[in-house]
Structure 1
Amino acid sequence: MYKIPGHHHISMITKNASQNNHFYRHLLGLRRVKVTVNQDDPSMYHLFYGDKTGSPGTELSFFEIPPVGKTYRGTNSITKIGLLVPSETSLFYWKERFKEHGIEHSDITTYANHPALHFEDPEGLRMVLLVSNGAKVVHWQTWEKSDVPAEHQIQGMGTTEITVRRLDKLASTLTDMFGYTEINRTDDEAIFQSIKGEVFGEIVVKYLDGPTEKPGRGSIHHLAVRVKNDSELAYWEEQVKQRGFHSSGIVDRFYFKSLYFRESNGILFEIATDGPGFTIDGDIETLGEKLDLPPFLEDRRVEIEENLKPIEEY
């Protein structure tokens, strides 16, 4: 049986690409590694941020939907993103940085047994910085032009939180299908790791009854987990079918191939290949500086560019 080596990326909704670009590039210090469009609806931007090359496990992605309303928080949703930083000293650096820039944040605390600092982006997306203790994504690369010093840079995705009505159903999907290890359980919370002992594939599942979250700006659309290549993706497609989940089938996203399915609580998962990656149509030195389109959309470039509002720098 294949193992899931960790998270691949996580995708959110933003109302304003320019504001989003400013926060994730200049305040969080991530590299914008790809400016493209939603391949299913090319009228909207799809922005990716990550390490130097947008390595799998470091990618935060956003769909810009200008008319989108507010998020009404609730259950059966992905509710928090963990981001790894090198040390507890880094948490103090980030606390001061958030204070200086007026970013909503907590005191330094613990989360899922890790030293932590909770914060929100300008649209209310909930995130938490976690001390990695050397557990960064192995292929993570420093972004030399970041506004954040190298010793405090975000090193990829860590613990991701999912809140559901039926905890045992999601637990079964993670352990019985994906092969995650359950490392801790209480009445209303369980922690799972794709690779035991490693935080970069960790998922916290919380039980919450009540109304389902109504997504809007600052909400999380889906979580993607990593697979190595096409043959592993085909294997997982079969596993999804055998569990009785409806699948999108394998979709070629040009930068990776993937499939999508919803588990029993309605949480949308993507399973995505590591490659070929964002350098397939761009030079490492200039990644994310212009609009890139997959080949099947290239002949619509003029139309697509006319419908997109330029991303402003400020």
Structure 2
Amino acid sequence: MYTIAGHHHISMLTKDAKENNQFYTKVLGLRRVKKTVNQDDPGMYHLFYGDLTGSAGTELSFFEMPRVGSTIRGTNSISQIGLLVPSYESLVFWKNRFEVLEVQHGEITQYAGKDALHFQDNEGLRMVLLNNDGLETPEYWSAWKDSVVPVEHRILGLGAIELTVRYADRLDKTLKELLGYVEASRSEHEVVYQSVAGQSFGEIVVKQQEGPIEKPGKGSIHHIAIRVKDEEELRYWDRVINEQGFRTSGIVDRFYFQSLYFRESNGILFEMATDGPGFTADASVESLGEGLDLPPFLEERRAEIEANLQPID
């Protein structure tokens, strides 16, 4: 029996890769660890931000879609991203920083049992900074020393990811019985699940909401990816998920990791992604995110791909 080790990454839609790059590197202080393209549609950028090497569990990824419209909020969606910061003092630092940089944000409050600061990026993507308060994080997460944010307040990695669905009982069954999540807390408004009991880096918050299904656009969240160790474990999950009546994509080689995709009963798209080989498969640690990296099967189309992309830097 395998268990989910936490979040791997989360993927969103952006209308403007250049503005997106500015916000996540210059405002949030993350490192752009990979500038590549959507492997299924290489006419669009696929950008990854994270820690020094884009470790699993720290990655925010964006597909650029210049013609995409605005998100129409609704249910059956991944509705918010939690990002862990070291302390309550870090939340104060970020609130002041957001005020200076004119980033939309709220007051310091509570969310999923933690001190929290809600904010949005320039496209309306909803996020919340969460006080990790000294709790354990994966040992391989490593700070990027060139971040514009002081190390004592930097974003550590992914925390609670919020899912809003019509049928919370169906998602409850999928998380607990299929994927092995444990229920950490339950209230009238939300249920918190953890892939690793007592740890924040694999939390999922589920809220039930009736009404129309969300229509995705800029600032919407496309899918959540959760960690598995290797291809052997992926094969296990492929078999088990199919046995439970869900249809999977089969194993897909993404070069930087291998993946498996399925939708649960409310339509939330889950990806299971392996820890390796990682973003240093075709770049040194020092040069991560600088040039346009392409998986080997797209390399022969480099000239065509580069001609169709607008420069970011």
**Structure 2 unaligned regions, length at least 5:** none
Work out the CA distance in 1 between the residues paired with 2:111 and 2:123: 22
Give the TM-score normalised by the residue count of structure 1. Answer: 0.98
2:278 aligned partner: 277
- Cα shift at 1:137: 3.1
Work out the CA distance in 1 between the residues paired with 2:224 and 2:264: 12
Aligned residue type for 1:280? A
1:199 pairs with 2:200:
yes
Deviations 1:196-253 (A, max 9, x none): 1001000000000000000000000000000011111111111110111111100000
- Cα shift at 1:190: 1.0
Secondary structure of 1:284's aligned partner: coil
Aligned residue type for 1:286? S
1:107 aligned partner: 107
Aligned residue type for 2:105? H
Aligned residue type for 2:233? E
Work out the CA distance in 2 between the residues paired with 1:233 and 1:154: 29
1:46 aligned partner: 46
- Cα shift at 1:64: 0.1
Aligned residue type for 1:283? S
- Cα shift at 1:136: 2.7
Query: How do residues 83-162 of structure 1 correspond to structure 2 at under 5 angstroms?
Result: 83-134=83-134, 135-162=136-163
Query: How many residue pairs align between the two structures?
Result: 312
Work out the CA distance in 1 between the residues paired with 2:147 and 2:138: 18
Q: Alignment RMSD, CA only? A: 0.7
Aligned residue type for 1:174? L
Work out the CA distance in 2 between the residues paired with 1:153 and 1:288: 19
Work out the CA distance in 1 between the residues paired with 2:312 and 2:138: 30
Work out the CA distance in 2 between the residues paired with 1:133 and 1:104: 24
Deviations 1:79-125 (A, max 9, x none): 00000000000000000000000001011001000010000000000
1:19 aligned partner: 19
Secondary structure of 2:25's aligned partner: helix
Aligned residue type for 2:42? P
2:4 aligned partner: 4
- Cα shift at 1:187: 4.0
| Contact preservation (8 Å) 1:77, 1:213 | yes
Secondary structure of 2:152's aligned partner: helix
Deviations 1:110-165 (A, max 9, x none): 10000100000000000000011233332111111000001111000000000000
Aligned residue type for 1:98? F
**Structure 1 unaligned regions, length at least 5:** none
Secondary structure of 1:286's aligned partner: coil
